[in-house]
Amino acid sequence: MGNSRTTFLRQCQTGWLVVMCLLSSPHSFAEKLTGEPGTVIATPPDMTYFALQGDTLSGISKRFTDKALNWPTLSKRNHIADNRSIPIGTPILIPLDLLPEEDSEARVQTLAGNPTYKPLNGTEIPLAIGTIVKEGAQIFTGKNGFITLAFPDNSRVSIPSNSQITLSKLRKTKYTASPRTEISLLEGKVESHVSSLMSNKGRFEVRSPLAVAGVRGTHFRVGVSDTGTANEVLEGGVAVNNPSLKKSDSLVLPAGKGNIISATEVGKAIDLLPPPQLPAEYLLQVRPTIQFLVEKSASAAGYHVQIASDQQALDVLTEKTFKENRFKFDGLADGHYFVRVAAIDQHGLEGIPLTQSFVLKARPEPPFTVQPKNKIRSEKTDFVWTEAINALSYHLQVATDNSFNQIILDQSDIKDVQFSSDALKTGQYFWRIATVVTQKDGKLDQGPFSDVQTFAKLPPQASAAFADSEGKEISFNWVAEPGQLFLIQIARDPEFKQMYLSRETREAELKIPRPGAGQYYIRVRATDPDGYVGAFTSAQKITIKARWLDNSGDAIRSSAGTVGTGF
């Protein structure tokens, strides 16, 4: 193996094998250590103590392991034959497993919903950020609840909604603070980010009614259900078994693998489903109801989706399980977030998660669009929308494409809830409107645009043409399209308050008995076959002249034409 510790370690593999190598490393390593007499340093799998004058193995054993009778173990570990006085400064290896344990604790780092906990021999009380929990405490997340516990060695345990755990063991070794953690999962799921335990020979286990998962530093999930215990490893390795089975061999699950442990067997390792794929269009959310659509996987029976404030998903704000590949969430303020999506396979195992940052910018919300929609027939184009709360102004855009690459009208600082333009020619258009407000610091803040509306600008309805034939009837006609229904109105005033005639017709012509002499106003409105009701044409003024009539009611004529009365 070589004579130096460096050469020796280079020949060892990383992970658990390092521990095995250290356990069998030459005693000469300890002999080369130097330190201040009376001090200790961590040298996994041991702690090294530098002897004071007059120290003996039994005295050292009593001082650091609380049992003088452990001195034969120290004798064997350090190749010291008997319990004699040890030269000052001699490095003495003390196995970490012999160190006494003392109480440790965990702190609530993040919290959502209304989770509670019950201290050992206590009553159930609400949890809060910063709450310190100790060994024996039971934690209940409840519906829509979520917490993350932080441990002294920087390990993290996230407990999602509808879960219940007990901190069965929460201790650390004296002098080296090597963690001794055991979590009993009674209901739901836990996700653990365990700091490397190689440097302190710590232990971290998650126990369920059917299984035990032990790690040396990794990222893994354990869940319980009616069918058994699900184990899913995202980083590192996890040893799992069912201690209730007579012949239950431990199975080491590497990263990317999972299994199900039932009452009768330790299931084989299964590949976890890969991360779902999320299109880039969902990275900016512009509506209060955020939604995501991942690419559908034939192997996915469902999806577990979390919205968090951090990339590690330690601070989960909300989470849901969906059967389909479209997800919706409400109730988030504008800001930067992370969405975490894991596909669930037919066995109930969650796959490798996708974690993606996104931005929610949905406020100030845009107003609702009123008109135009579908199509218009008028000289001017009138844009109308609802009034938005606290709006300072509005921003209107009109384009010839729905991506708004060809903007032909960009009008900001509109103070009213309507805007008219006579600049649009016949054609197809797209329009949208946004709200602008004033922030507390006095800066302007424009919200997202409304949903895009499209409309076709068609030629306006032509006015009715009138030619006085000077007969007993008068007639009007106008340009029409197939299938249109018309409303023609004749009034004595331009405001059409003194109505003379209002008639619907499917013909583009109107014949009526000649009205009495005077001035009249006429207008036409068309309704298209699809139900679109156009605007009235502008009012046209006509004059009906008075005439002399004969006994038959016909106009008296002369060589110059109809003989009038002078009107």
301-344 residue pLDDT tens? 999 999 999 999 999 999 999 999 999 999 999 999 999 999 99
Q: Are residues 63 and 127 in the same domain?
A: no
The residues, ordered by sequence, that sit 6+ positions from 235 with a Cβ below 8 Å of its Cβ are 218, 219, 220, 255
Domain assignment of residue 558, yes or no: no
Instruction: Kindly report, residue by residue over 445-485, the tens digit of the pLDDT.
Output: 999 999 999 999 999 888 888 877 667 888 999 999 999 99
Q: Is 260 in a helix, a strand, or coil? A: strand
The angle formed by the CA atoms of residues 339, 342 and 343, to the nearest 5 degrees, is 140
- Cα 403 to chain centroid, rounded: 25
Domain boundary among 245, 271, 297: 271
In a domain, 251, yes or no: yes
pLDDT single digits (tens) 516-529: 889 999 999 999 99
- pLDDT band at 18; cut points 50, 70, 90: very low
Residues 301 and 374 in one domain: no
117 assigned to some structural domain: yes
Same domain assignment for residues 15 and 110: no
| 149 alpha carbon, distance to own chain's centre | 22
Residues 260 and 151 in one domain: yes
pLDDT for 283: 97
Q: Per the omega criterion (within 30 degrees of 0), is the bond before 372 cis?
A: yes
Which pLDDT score, from 0 to 100, does residue 566 have?
44
Number of structural domains (the chain) is 5
Are residues 469 and 379 part of one domain? no
Q: Is position 565 within any domain?
A: no
Structure tokens at 508: 């583009």
Give this prediction's pTM.
0.76
Q: What is the mean pLDDT of the chain?
A: 89
Torsion of CA 168, 170, 172, 178, to 10 degrees: 80
Residue 93 has pLDDT above 80, yes or no: yes
Does 8 have pLDDT greater than 90? no
- 223: three-class secondary structure by DSSP: strand
Residue 42 · residue 200 · CB < 8 Å: yes
Which pLDDT belongs to residue 563? 46
Range of the domain at 236: 102-271
Q: What is the pLDDT of residue 20?
A: 31
| pLDDT over 90 percentage in the chain | 75
What percent of the chain lies above the pLDDT cut of 70?
89
> How does residue 44 score in pLDDT terms, banded at 50, 70 and 90?
confident
Domain boundary among 458, 477, 505: 458
The pLDDT of residue 250 is: 81
